[in-house]
Amino acid sequence: METARRGELPALIAALVEEGPHYNFFQAVRLFEAAAAKVPRGPGELPSTIRFRPAAELSFPAGDIRRCRLDEEGRLEMQLNFMGFYGVDAPVPHYFLEAAAEEEGGALRAFLDIFNHRLYELLYLGWKKFLSPVLPGGESTFERYLSALSGVGGGAGNDLAQAFAGPLGSPVQNGAGLRGVLREFLDETPVEVVQFCPQWVSLPEIPPVGGRGGEELVLGENLVLGGSVLDVGRRVEIRIGPLPLDEALALLPGGEQSETVARLIRRYLPPTIDFDLLLRVRIEGTAPLQLGVEAMMLGWNSCLGENSRAESEIRLPGANLLARTPSI
């Protein structure tokens, strides 16, 4: 009779009955809940067609679930090896566990199962509450939270910002943080962030001498010679590599990862900080290029003559990478 009933069950329920101990508790309940989506339930409850209780045996458990079976009312009964008010994992004196396991008729266990079922139900619902992918519409809600943490907002469509919401939203931004973000994104490729790189900044307007109403001009304080000034606090150099040639090509303008890396760096750095990328490319073992066969960019993926060096460096100003790149 039981075999005939199992033959009529949906595939998931039949699998739980046959192989329940092979399932993780949360995985099994989540699958059952999805399969029983049309079964009526109250607020904050699971479908009425599933019941939980501890397994009465005191033997060492091999997994979360001892067994699954169908009870007299056709509900799936899941007997579990953890928590509960009796069973091997119950936090009660051992003599009580033995009494509950050896009781004939099961009246005590049936009474305790009133509380056991709700205990397991709340455990699953609490786990589900803070795991967004298992909530109806939870991904979009969680995406909004991550976007808000990253400082971007807007919900879906900001996958890069959501993936690095922690460092992007942190009030502390430094070279070590940027290095960690890039190493994570580039699969642990060596990254070095060199700070305080000097650069010459053009002065947009040079007032004539004596044009400040008699204010005293002091060379080195409010007066400079020439049309530019050396600045060491507004540019960083990001060194990536050594890289094989194919990975370096992906970071060049037009490459698969070029725009994404540029957006990620620009989003992390304050708007007043410029950056350059320095790609260190391994040349050893690189096959010669042929005209008309591959895209050749002189100075980036090709050079004239033979290169005896083990590595080559490609410098890319961040402004060039960001010329056609939208912000994240």
CB-CB contact of 92 with 84 (8 Å): no
The more confidently predicted of residues 78 and 255 is: 78
In this structure, is residue 326 part of a structural domain?
no
Residue 182 has pLDDT above 80, yes or no: yes
Residue 2 pLDDT grade (very low, low, confident, very high; cuts 50, 70, 90): very low
Q: Which has the closest alpha carbon to 240: 318, 134, 157?
A: 318
Together in a domain, 54 and 101: yes
Single-letter code of the amino acid located at 325:
T
| 168 membership: H or E segment, kind and range | helix 165-169
Residue 3 confidence (pLDDT):
47
Residue 298 confidence (pLDDT):
64
Together in a domain, 62 and 96: yes
C-alpha–C-alpha distance, residues 260 and 160, integer Å = 8
Residue 214 has pLDDT above 90, yes or no: no
Together in a domain, 166 and 113: no
Together in a domain, 94 and 161: no
Together in a domain, 55 and 123: yes
Together in a domain, 180 and 286: yes
The more confidently predicted of residues 73 and 262 is: 262
Residue 131 confidence (pLDDT):
75
Query: Last residue of a domain, which of 130, 156, 181?
Result: 130
pLDDT over 90, % of the chain:
20
Together in a domain, 62 and 188: no
In this structure, is residue 104 part of a structural domain?
yes
Residue 112 confidence (pLDDT):
92
> How does the average pLDDT of the chain come out, rounded?
81
Residue 216 confidence (pLDDT):
72
In this structure, is residue 220 part of a structural domain?
no
In this structure, is residue 107 part of a structural domain?
yes
Together in a domain, 150 and 89: no
Residue 79 has pLDDT above 50, yes or no: yes
In this structure, is residue 214 part of a structural domain?
no
Lowest mean pLDDT among 93-102, 187-196, 245-254: 245-254
The more confidently predicted of residues 110 and 323 is: 110
Residue 7 pLDDT grade (very low, low, confident, very high; cuts 50, 70, 90): very low
C-alpha–C-alpha distance, residues 18 and 150, integer Å = 46
Residue 292 pLDDT grade (very low, low, confident, very high; cuts 50, 70, 90): low
Residue partners of 170: CB distance under 8 A and separation at least 6: 177
CB-CB contact of 318 with 258 (8 Å): no
Residue 297 pLDDT grade (very low, low, confident, very high; cuts 50, 70, 90): low
The more confidently predicted of residues 19 and 211 is: 19
Together in a domain, 62 and 179: no
Q: Of the segments 12-21, 69-78, 117-126, 142-151, which one has the largest average pLDDT value?
A: 117-126
> Distance from first CA to last CA of the chain, Å, rounded?
61
DSSP class of residue 201 equals E
Residue 4 confidence (pLDDT):
42
pLDDT over 70, % of the chain:
79
Together in a domain, 67 and 122: yes
- Structure tokens, 94: 């051992």
Its domain, for residue 155, covers 137-171
In this structure, is residue 155 part of a structural domain?
yes
In this structure, is residue 116 part of a structural domain?
yes
Bridge partners (DSSP) of residue 69 are 77
- Express each pLDDT in 89-107 by its tens digit: 888 888 898 888 888 888 9
Query: Last residue of a domain, which of 110, 130, 150?
Result: 130
Together in a domain, 42 and 156: no
Residue 6 pLDDT grade (very low, low, confident, very high; cuts 50, 70, 90): very low
In this structure, is residue 250 part of a structural domain?
yes
- Express each pLDDT in 37-63 by its tens digit: 778 777 778 888 899 999 988 888 778
CB-CB contact of 28 with 20 (8 Å): yes
C-alpha–C-alpha distance, residues 9 and 50, integer Å = 14
Instruction: Work out how many domains the chain is built from and give that number.
Output: 3
Q: Of the segments 49-53, 128-132, 312-316, which one has the largest average pLDDT value?
A: 49-53
C-alpha–C-alpha distance, residues 28 and 101, integer Å = 25
Together in a domain, 163 and 176: no
